[in-house]
Amino acid sequence: MERLILCRFEDYQVTSGEEAVVLESVYNEVLEVINDVEDDEEREAFLSRAAYKYELLSGEVADAWADAQNQIDAVKGRHIARSCLTARLTKS
């Protein structure tokens, strides 16, 4: 099971703002599974592979996607606020 989880993480790609935002949570879940590996050498090898992949993903690409997602969320928030204000003004 640990190998499968690690392989899936190694195949993981950040292709959206949401994936960038949850990257750290996904990585921490992978680490929890790997830490249950009883064989010390195998666990260390898995941890190294996971850390390498995390470093690749958590760099500028993930930051750019996270920034884009935050901008999208801010715009959505402004649109919601504007809609609420318009609704209140038209009721009066």
The residue whose two tokens read 């190998």 is: 3
- For 51, how many CA atoms within 13 A lie in the half-sphere containing its CB? 7
Alpha carbon distance 40, 46 (integer Å): 10
The amino acid that residue 62 corresponds to is A
> DSSP string spanning 37-78?
---HHHHHHHHHHHHHHHHHHTTHHHHHHHHHHHHHHHHHHH
Which has more confidence, 31 or 56? 31
pLDDT digits 0-9 by tens, 48-63: 999 999 998 887 776 7
**Domain residue spans in the chain?**
2-91
- Give the per-residue pLDDT at 58: 82
How many C-beta neighbours within 10 Å does residue 24 have?
Answer: 13
- Give the per-residue pLDDT at 62: 67
- Give the per-residue pLDDT at 16: 75
pTM, full prediction: 0.66
